[in-house]
Amino acid sequence: MSGKIIKVAGPLVVADGLADANVSDVVRVGHQHLIGEILNMTGDRASIQVYEETTGLGPGAEVVTTGAPLSVELGPGMLEGIYDGIQRPLTEIRELTGSTIARGIDVPALNRTKRWEFKPTVKPGAELVEGDIIGTVQETSAIEHRILVPNGISGKVKTIEEGFFTVEDTVCVLERDGKEIPLTMMQKWPVRVNRPYKKKFMPDRPLQSGQRIVDTMFPIAKGGTAAIPGPFGSGKTVMQHALAKWSDVDIVVYIGCGERGNEMTDVLMEFPELIDPHTGEPLMKRTVLIANTSDMPVAAREASIYTGITIAEYFRDMGYDVAVIADSTSRWAEALREMSGRLEEMPGEEGYPAYLASRIAQFYERAGVVECKGADGRRGSLTAIGAVSPPGGDISEPVSQATMRITKVFWGLDSALAYARHFPAINWLNSYSLYLDYLKPWYEKNFPGFMENRNKAMSILQEEANLNEIVRLVGADSLAPNEQLTLATAKMIREDFLQQNSFVDIDSYSETERQFMLMNLIIEFDKLARAAVANGVELEKLVNIPAKEKIGRAKTVPANQYKAEYTQIGEEMRRQIEEASMGGEDA
Amino acid sequence: MIKEYKTIHEIASPLMIVEQVEGVTYDELCEIQLPDGSLRRGKVLEVNGDKAVIQLYESAAGINLAESKVRFLGHPLELAVSEDMLGRVFNGMGQPIDGGPEILAEAHLDINGLPMNPAARAYPAEFIQTGVSTIDGLNTLVRGQKLPIFSGSGLPHANLAAQIARQAKVPGDEGKFAVVFAAIGITFEESEFFVQEFKRTGAIDRTVMFSNLADEPAVERISTPRMALTAAEYLAFEKDMHVLVILTDITNYAEALREISAAKKEVPGRRGYPGYLYTDLATMYERAGRRLGKPGSITMIPILTMPEDDKTHPIPDLTGYITEGQIILSRELHRKGIVPPVDVLPSLSRLKDKGIGAGKTREDHAGVLNQLFAAYAAGKDAKELMTILGESALSETDKHYAAFAEAFEQKYVNQGNEVDRSIEETLTIGWELLRMLPRSELKRIKPEYIEKYLPEK
């Protein structure tokens, strides 16, 4: 079935003669076969958003529908790869067309010639239902790719073969009602449809990111959702990269949506070099990259978010913990706005379409802890973390507001902190995590006292903010010694704990136990010093003990020494505070 | 045989509607021949059946609906490029205006370029020494970076840009370099300042200039930076040169874009700028960079004046979201007589971390940089407190910080436009300033570097 173009306006093309096409079908436009998607139909007239530049298209050019919605190919070969917004492999495109991306390129997402070693996990005669694992492929040294029975298919295994196969080869044949169903290692799934699962659960395990302000102060659960809004230069991308690097999940899908090209290059260069502290393998081995940089066509930006989360759901269905990190969802919303404007829809707030909030909600709701399809009851989780780039850093705008309504964790970046080079520049006073209660049992079981310390630290920081108001009015001298101690402790929490340098190897990742021990030192210092101050000991003596300066440098103690070192600092601190209290000289 | 149409239906500058057209395609270039034989150019914005909406690149004055002829050329606007462009001056449409001959083209390139494949980019990591301490020491520029200067009306951004163009070098590298300069809607004087500056330093022979001055049609400002970037891409990736692109002033560009958007009756975004301003700016800025397997590079310094010095205005705001940092000039420092008046705290170079350190600048660079930033921020806070409560209200440490902030502005920032400091000099000045603080405050520098570079006297 083919139609003819009657109008071209940027990425929007209108064609008639497409009575047989469906809304959301993928179409091929013009002699270059540009990829597009049908947004609306009026009679036999279709409005199409084209995912490539439409230069050179004019009325009369042919439009052919493929009869299928925008889909991704799912199977071995996605990890370590970099795709554009509609899952075209950028590394292979580079081999074909050099440094720039020419139009109308048609490269399959999964390599058709590469042979993967397939190891069956079921035997002929087994009864299988949708979602059951039929076998595995060691896709990278870090990840075992589990091959699933596609949704809607079940039956008894007739044959299954071990050996090296391409993604299109039949590896298994199911039999049902006398009919044979061949299975390959690849399946397709429409990106705008959620992949099904059996059941959703409340999240109860933390995602340990190795970032102190996240894990200790505002933790996110595996299967949770988080938003990182902030003005430019406040460190959104560095934070997103840090989460992609160090989170203790099995798979990371990183979506660069309308952002800088060099940031994707950075990930491409850096991740193969960095070692995942949880598996000992290079980080790239567990990473899938989706890149629609800001100079790439705007319509594909809208699709990139869905492409990314569908791939993530597929890995979740294997029973993995997956994190989707999207930078930035604002660019995605702007792409929606641009298409909406060209479709001449009635604008909502700030020109965004009225369906903006529901689209954002749909995206984040695809996160969660689930019991996967299949008979074995395995669980997977999908965590969604999105950056938001509010114009002028003002989060009263529609994208930030719609995102905050749906996400449970809010890491608010602050330009004042960034100017003072306090990184990560997450403002501890306005950020929040609604997972604290869900995660409390886990923390209490593994690190008794963790939450108490955390709450104590938060109240000290809150009190610091109040005291600073007074200091600004009447000066620090007017504060009582215990209040001045609060300021000193708050400074320790800020500088010695919350500040974390992503560009220093030792500091870029901090395991949860280490965070716990470090916070313990600070809180204990506060407690002991407070008791001493109450007994009339001079504050000056207490804050000048050598152990306090050691706490200040504790971040840089190598990972294999910190336990002994922190224990020792603790002992020194207790002794020195005691000596200071007795009026003795520092030892 | 190219068809000619005499069916112009409507002109509402910068838009024109031609009817009864056939075979016209989106984004195609067209020529309008006036009755007197002169030519104007435009591009197809929309084709709807037999109606084409055209955006004129040049002024609409003098176009007669009945007598003018329109020809569609079947390709987008192109620039004729060759190495002979060096040393020449062109207008915003890419035509020579220096009285010299036409360029003998080696190629005709679409001025819109193509998006760069992120998998084909090489990450910029080569330190460029600009000789300006606030840039080299704190907001380090690297080859292939796009680092804008956010300025305000009346601030000396031109002097700083010229200083960078004059002094920038990669230590130990004598590769071929070129400057591409695009004057977008600026005054003759401002443009002439750069020309004189390039002449003075001899860089003029290695410079390609594209000039659209304030009195020329605003619509030409849309093509001017794209012409410049097309020339830059050609020199960098075909001729292996290291190209420094200076675009000034992006604010004028964005205003021209708004003008056209309004004429098209599009739904306006913030402050009347079109919703696609981000994407539009990105397709220009993202053309900076390095490519795998190519020795050349494009380093971009766009200059923009922030309306009302407001960083949250859409133009600086969206620019900041795309570029790899920003150098912000401060009116307060300018009034104090500090040259160049770089506002250090909100300035930023996102690519500095890969461009500094042992083997690139010096091992202690990152630590000194972080410490200077933190100390200056603390010092400014202390000074603020001091103005409210008086010096006696400050703690001993805060007094050190307040003194540090003052000295930092005078010694580190205030270097003048003629002084070219090496990175070692910049680092040494940094250490001397840090000496003013108690050593226990230097938490951001590794102790061994403090031992080495700041031995106790």
pLDDT in tens, A400-459: 999 999 999 999 999 889 988 899 999 999 999 999 999 999 999 999 999 999 999 999
Query: In chain B, what percentage of residues exceed pLDDT 70?
Result: 100
* Residue A299: band (very low, low, confident or very high) from pLDDT cuts 50, 70, 90: confident
pLDDT at A587 over 80: no
Look at phi and psi of residue A67 and say left if phi exceeds 0, alpha if psi is from -120 to 50, else beta: left
Structure token pair of residue B371: 């410490």
pLDDT at A584 over 70: no
- Most A-contacting residue of B54, B279, B348, B441 (CB-CB within 10 A), to test interface: B279
Q: Closest residue of A to B398, CA-based?
A: A476
Q: Closest residue of B to A292, CA-based?
A: B118
Distance from CA of A474 to the nearest CA of B (A): 7
Q: Closest residue of B to A90, CA-based?
A: B119
Across the interface, of A337, A393, A495, the residue whose CB is closest to B443 is A495
Q: Which residues in chain A have their CB less than 8 angstroms from residue B50's CB?
A: 59
- A272 touches B at CB < 8 Å: no
Encode pLDDT of B246-274 as tens digits: 999 999 999 999 998 898 888 888 888 98
pLDDT reported for residue B444: 86
State the DSSP code for B380.
H
Q: Exposed/middle/buried for A384, CB within 10 Å: 0-12, 13-18, 19+? A: buried
Across the interface, of A9, A295, A476, the residue whose CB is closest to B283 is A295
CB contact at 8 A, A123 and A157 = yes
Interchain contact, B275 vs A337, CB within 8 Å: yes
Which candidate, B330, B253, B331, B333, places its Cα nearest to that of B285?
Answer: B253
- A558 touches B at CB < 8 Å: no
- A264 touches B at CB < 8 Å: yes
Look at phi and psi of residue B198 and say left if phi exceeds 0, alpha if psi is from -120 to 50, else beta: alpha
Across the interface, of B286, B326, B345, the residue whose CB is closest to A293 is B286
pLDDT reported for residue B170: 86
- A570 touches B at CB < 8 Å: no
Interchain contact, B286 vs A261, CB within 8 Å: yes
- Most B-contacting residue of A7, A234, A295, A336 (CB-CB within 10 A), to test interface: A295
* Residue A586: band (very low, low, confident or very high) from pLDDT cuts 50, 70, 90: very low
* Residue A319: band (very low, low, confident or very high) from pLDDT cuts 50, 70, 90: very high
Encode pLDDT of A163-194 as tens digits: 999 999 999 999 999 999 999 999 999 999 99
CB proximity under 8 Å: A 9-28 to B: 9-10, 14
Residue that is written with structure tokens 């920081």 in the block? A461
Q: Which helix (H) or strand (E) holds B142?
A: strand B141-142
Question: How many contacts does A have with B, using Cβ atoms within 8 A?
Answer: 217
Across the interface, of A94, A256, A549, the residue whose CB is closest to B117 is A94
User: Which residue did the predictor score with more confidence, B275 or A310?
Assistant: A310
Interchain contact, B366 vs A503, CB within 8 Å: yes
pLDDT reported for residue A583: 65
pLDDT reported for residue A463: 96
Q: Which residues in chain B have their CB less than 8 angstroms from residue A348's CB?
A: none
Q: What is the mean pLDDT of chain A?
A: 93
- A299 touches B at CB < 8 Å: no
CA-CA distance, A159 to A173, in Å (whole number)? 5
CA-CA distance, B423 to B376, in Å (whole number)? 20
Encode pLDDT of B349-408 as tens digits: 999 988 999 989 999 999 999 999 999 999 999 998 888 888 887 888 889 999 999 999
| Residue A47: CB atoms within 10 Å | 20
pLDDT reported for residue B457: 66
Whether omega before A424 lies within 30 degrees of 0, making that bond cis, reads yes
CB contact at 8 A, B193 and B278 = no
Interchain contact, B320 vs A233, CB within 8 Å: yes
Interface predicted TM-score (ipTM)? 0.90
Q: What is the mean pLDDT of chain B?
A: 92
Encode pLDDT of A15-31 as tens digits: 999 999 999 999 999 99
User: Which residue did the predictor score with more confidence, A478 or A485?
Assistant: A485
pLDDT at A344 over 90: no
Q: Closest residue of B to A93, CA-based?
A: B117
Measure Cα distances from B376 to B141, B258, B435 in Å.
21, 39, 13
Residues forming beta bridges with residue B182, ordered by sequence position: B210, B247
pLDDT at A42 over 60: yes
Give A427-433 contacts, CB < 8 A, sequence gap 24+: A428/A213, A428/A217, A428/A458, A428/A461, A428/A498, A429/A461, A429/A462, A429/A465, A431/A217, A431/A218, A432/A218, A433/A217, A433/A218, A433/A219, A433/A220, A433/A408, A433/A409
CA-CA distance, A236 to B249, in Å (whole number)? 28
pLDDT at B449 over 90: yes
Look at phi and psi of residue B405 and say left if phi exceeds 0, alpha if psi is from -120 to 50, else beta: alpha
pLDDT reported for residue A420: 83
- A476 touches B at CB < 8 Å: yes
pLDDT reported for residue B1: 64
Distance from CA of B181 to the nearest CA of A (A): 22
Terminal-to-terminal C-alpha distance of chain A: 88
pLDDT at A4 over 50: yes
